Structure 1
């Protein structure tokens, strides 16, 4: 039998991150000890108070559909959080609860982009921002995030790439995969560009709580005239170690929330009731759990950055946010994909090739330091030995 597969699926690339992960898991099943630095998920358990809230919700029978928009109590808790922490005066009616940030991306771009429209997207970037526009028949036009510029936007490049078809600009800050945090002055200038060209800004803030060395996360929606032209996207996955709970949200003008909810209704209906109850607890009962996680991430980051920069042939900037190090491997004379395979097979360490995140990532490897300190110490040792072997052999 010949199976017909829709041509649009050819416009979506499979996850290069999961490709590395699947190979690493297969190696583990064969008895090899692999150190995992490829998956962007916290290695901490979800805080106990959040799990108890979910248990209680299940015990109370909160296992049925909620409003498609999400529980009003959760939408209000999100609005309160955005007012308190991000200094944006959102109302509960301006919040849509989604099944993770991934669904929020689909809902936002489905509401914003027509076929033939253009969207400015960072390079490198999490590939959902390339794949989803492609699937919708729109075009992702990339702008560069370069190491030599501290992974800040080149705003002159952004201006030059705006056309009559441009509908919006994506920013991811803190950034995946670079770990860069956009500076406030850059965001202020970007806001003026958006207003002058009547563009929407899609702001991915999922890593906002994971910042180091006094770095400041600024929500672009908090700048003058920007709330009405910003989609603020976030979720519980990173800050609260709730990646498997699949709970995200988008805050935007009500006109967009209403339209996005149509996509959400047909896609997932609603996030699970008891998971939403856990989300309310996360936002309203937080103690020092997040701060403790961030402190441990910084300890791991500090060790890894120092160890990597002590290895001849590779280097990295010290990331100011998220939990990724973007390792510059250009001196090694191999492609990112070749190096990822080499380090996995020879050193048993799983790293993501930078080209997975776009052409600008070629020559880099992404290392997640959301792994135990002990694993990072061992992994950096394995990395050093493998680089030295590669440089010595010339292969």
Structure 2
């Protein structure tokens, strides 16, 4: 008897860990060294967890043996609520906070609790593909609104408004954006809020990169600008504190709770079904929220800033390649001019690059960008290694044909 995957998985994809990854794994198993520029995992590139986080982890080991509250330990939820109250959120307490095994788990829970079959969720294009995947898995319909490369990858508000229908339930905002590195202006966020207000939509604001911004850019919290809207804000420690493997994330519910009371019952039920988040990771949250070591990495001349700048400059030196300067995050999303390089299948391109150069990047269509003319490159290697890798990609492009 043959066992087939569930029909619920039809159309669900996550190319960051998709088929090309399997080829990369096979090459490593055969003895090749692969430069993994496909996933924002700081640890392999020499980024260490902050000392304060590790000390907090060790100190709390004796208390981390049992289940916690389904939403997370109260002290950590209180710390998260206070952190965001200091940043302009209104009416928060520990009941406003759900802890999770990273933002990925919480995004799935948040969508599952809201979406019925056929409901639509507005998601940016390009997007972090998890949002599209969990919407499809919930039986919903992801509807992608375009972000404008010519405007620094800010959302195209006219396109967003045109795609709102009677089935639309929520708008996803990813700010700072993965994969483009855009940091959204307060004006754009207020206009998105007005659309959500006018059409009665929930907002999911993915702000995992809020502390990784460059060149004096300022991150603005959506919920602080629109306190009258039901907004779920997602954050965590994976990137800012370089502990992706700890899986320490949270979501904050803000706005008029009575309007979301029934929804929150469902969200709390889903939180209970997983029993609780990882108890050990929860115990590092209080210490982590007072750790500011990320500031040294993103300041001018800091390691993350230097790597981002090197990647952006080197990409723009390649013939037929252009890249908007990322203002936040850990990625670059360059455009490969189709009139110069004539790439028709970007997944085939990244696979061919992997096979020849042993460099692993992700195709732009994997982020639900409609044309095969972009790729995403992780900017975590040291600046010198970053430049060498991008020049190798450039040499590959010079001789590549499809």
TM-score normalised per structure 2: 0.91
- In structure 2, the residue matched to 1:64 is 66
SS at match of 2:193: helix
What per-residue deviation string (whole Å, max 9, x for no partner) do you get for residues 164-212 of structure 1? 1111100101111111111110011111111111111110000111111
What per-residue deviation string (whole Å, max 9, x for no partner) do you get for residues 106-138 of structure 1? 111112212221111111111121121212211
Task: Report the alpha carbon displacement of residue 389 of structure 1 after superposing the two structures with TM.
Answer: 2.6
Q: Is the 8 A contact 2:208 2:236 kept in 1?
A: yes
Q: Is the 8 A contact 2:190 2:225 kept in 1?
A: yes
Q: Is the 8 A contact 1:95 1:257 kept in 2?
A: no
* 1:270 is aligned to 2:276: yes
* 1:293 is aligned to 2:303: no
Q: Is the 8 A contact 2:100 2:278 kept in 1?
A: no
Q: Is the 8 A contact 2:128 2:367 kept in 1?
A: yes
**Correspondence 1:104-143 to 2 at 5 A:** 104-143=106-145
Cα separation, partners in 2 of 1:161 and 1:15, compared to 1, 3 Å: same
SS at match of 2:288: helix
- In structure 2, the residue matched to 1:229 is 230
Q: Distance in 2 between matches of 1:225 and 1:48?
A: 35
Q: Distance in 1 between matches of 2:314 and 2:18?
A: 26
Q: Distance in 1 between matches of 2:380 and 2:19?
A: 19
* 1:337 is aligned to 2:343: no
- In structure 1, the residue matched to 2:201 is 199
Q: Distance in 1 between matches of 2:4 and 2:37?
A: 37
Larger mean CA deviation between 153-162 and 12-21 belongs to 12-21
Cα separation, partners in 2 of 1:242 and 1:86, compared to 1, 3 Å: farther
**Correspondence 1:91-240 to 2 at 5 A:** 91-226=93-228, 228-240=229-241
Which residues of structure 2 form unaligned runs of 5+? Answer: none
Cα separation, partners in 2 of 1:16 and 1:49, compared to 1, 3 Å: closer
What per-residue deviation string (whole Å, max 9, x for no partner) do you get for residues 263-301 of structure 1? 1211x21122221111221113x1x41112323111001
What per-residue deviation string (whole Å, max 9, x for no partner) do you get for residues 340-366 of structure 1? 122212222111011111143521010
Q: Is the 8 A contact 1:99 1:248 kept in 2?
A: yes
Task: Report the alpha carbon displacement of residue 257 of structure 1 after superposing the two structures with TM.
Answer: 4.0
2:54 to 51, 54, 57: 51
**Correspondence 1:343-362 to 2 at 5 A:** 343-360=353-370, 362=372
Q: Distance in 1 between matches of 2:371 and 2:303?
A: 27
What per-residue deviation string (whole Å, max 9, x for no partner) do you get for residues 77-123 of structure 1? 00011112354442111111111101111111112212221111111
Which residues of structure 1 form unaligned runs of 5+? Answer: none
SS at match of 1:360: coil
* 1:383 is aligned to 2:386: no
Cα separation, partners in 2 of 1:249 and 1:369, compared to 1, 3 Å: same
Task: Report the alpha carbon displacement of residue 62 of structure 1 after superposing the two structures with TM.
Answer: 2.1
* 1:323 is aligned to 2:330: yes
* 1:281 is aligned to 2:292: no
RMSD value, Cα: 1.8
Cα separation, partners in 2 of 1:342 and 1:184, compared to 1, 3 Å: same
TM-score normalised per structure 1: 0.93
Larger mean CA deviation between 80-89 and 34-43 belongs to 80-89
Cα separation, partners in 2 of 1:107 and 1:30, compared to 1, 3 Å: same
Q: Is the 8 A contact 2:89 2:227 kept in 1?
A: no
Q: Is the 8 A contact 1:121 1:130 kept in 2?
A: yes
